[in-house]
Amino acid sequence: MEKVERKQRDREIIAEPEKKLHIIGKFLLKSELLVRDTDSHDSVQLLSVSKDAKKILVQGKAPEQFKLNSHVVLYKLLARYLELECEVIDERPNNQYVMEVESVSIASRERQFMRIKPPDGTVWITNLRTSKTTIDANLFNIPTSVKVNFADYERILKPKFDILKIDVFRSIGDKFDLVKKTGKILYIPNTQKPESYTTSDPNGYIDYEHELGDEEDVRRKIIEYANQKIKSELIVPVIYINHDEQAIPIGYVLVQNRNKEIDITEVMEIKTLTFEMVDRIRESNTILVKERFPVLDLSTGGLRVKINHPDLNDDLPRRVGFTFDIFFKMQAPLTAYGVVRSVARDAENNMYVGISLEGNSARPGEKKRYLDNVNRLMADFGAKVNPS
CATH of the domain at 54: 2.30.110.10
pLDDT of 40-57, one tens digit each? Answer: 668 899 999 999 999 999
Distances in Å between the alpha carbon of 287 and those of 19, 127, 245, 351?
A: 49, 9, 16, 18
274 and 317 both lie in a single domain: no
96 and 182 both lie in a single domain: no
260 and 150 both lie in a single domain: yes
Confidence of residue 381 (pLDDT cuts 50, 70, 90): low
pLDDT of 264-320, one tens digit each? Answer: 999 999 999 999 999 998 888 888 999 999 999 888 889 999 999 998 988 888 888
Looking at residue 142, its pLDDT comes to: 73
Confidence of residue 384 (pLDDT cuts 50, 70, 90): very low
57 and 150 both lie in a single domain: no
Q: Give a yes or no: residue 250 inside a domain.
A: yes
292 and 372 both lie in a single domain: yes
Last residue of a domain, one of 234, 253, 285: 285
Angle between helical axes of 264-284 and 144-157 (0-180°, round to 10)? 150
51 and 31 both lie in a single domain: yes
Q: What percent of the chain has pLDDT above 70?
A: 88
pLDDT of 166-210, one tens digit each? Answer: 998 876 668 999 999 999 999 999 999 999 999 999 999 999 999
Confidence of residue 39 (pLDDT cuts 50, 70, 90): low
pLDDT over 60 (residue 248) = yes
pLDDT over 60 (residue 111) = no
Q: What is the number of domains present in the chain?
A: 3
pTM greater than 0.85 (yes/no): no
127 and 90 both lie in a single domain: no
Confidence of residue 141 (pLDDT cuts 50, 70, 90): low
Mean pLDDT in the chain?
Answer: 86
45 and 71 both lie in a single domain: yes
> How far is Cα of residue 45 from the mean position of the Cα atoms in its chain?
37
97 and 84 both lie in a single domain: yes
25 and 148 both lie in a single domain: no
Q: Give a yes or no: residue 66 inside a domain.
A: yes
Looking at residue 178, its pLDDT comes to: 93
pLDDT of 323-380, one tens digit each? Answer: 899 999 988 899 988 889 888 887 788 899 999 888 655 566 788 888 888 888 877 7
Pair 33, 76: CB distance under 8 Å: yes
Q: Give a yes or no: residue 387 inside a domain.
A: no
Confidence of residue 383 (pLDDT cuts 50, 70, 90): very low
Contacts 24+ apart (CB under 8 A), 23-29: 23/82, 23/104, 23/106, 24/49, 24/53, 24/56, 24/84, 24/101, 24/104, 25/49, 27/76, 27/78, 27/82, 28/76, 28/82, 28/84
Looking at residue 386, its pLDDT comes to: 42
Confidence of residue 388 (pLDDT cuts 50, 70, 90): very low
Distances in Å between the alpha carbon of 120 and those of 41, 71, 128, 186, 353?
A: 12, 26, 20, 55, 17
Q: What is the CATH number of the domain that holds 318?
A: 2.40.10.220
Q: Give a yes or no: residue 150 inside a domain.
A: yes
244 and 312 both lie in a single domain: no
213 and 176 both lie in a single domain: yes
Looking at residue 12, its pLDDT comes to: 85
Q: Give a yes or no: residue 210 inside a domain.
A: yes
Q: Give a yes or no: residue 261 inside a domain.
A: yes
Interacting residues of 124 by C-beta distance below 8 A, sequence separation 6+: 292, 293, 294, 295, 305, 326, 327
Q: What is the CATH number of the domain that holds 151?
A: 3.30.450.40
Question: Domain limits at 64?
Answer: 3-107
Q: Give a yes or no: residue 236 inside a domain.
A: yes
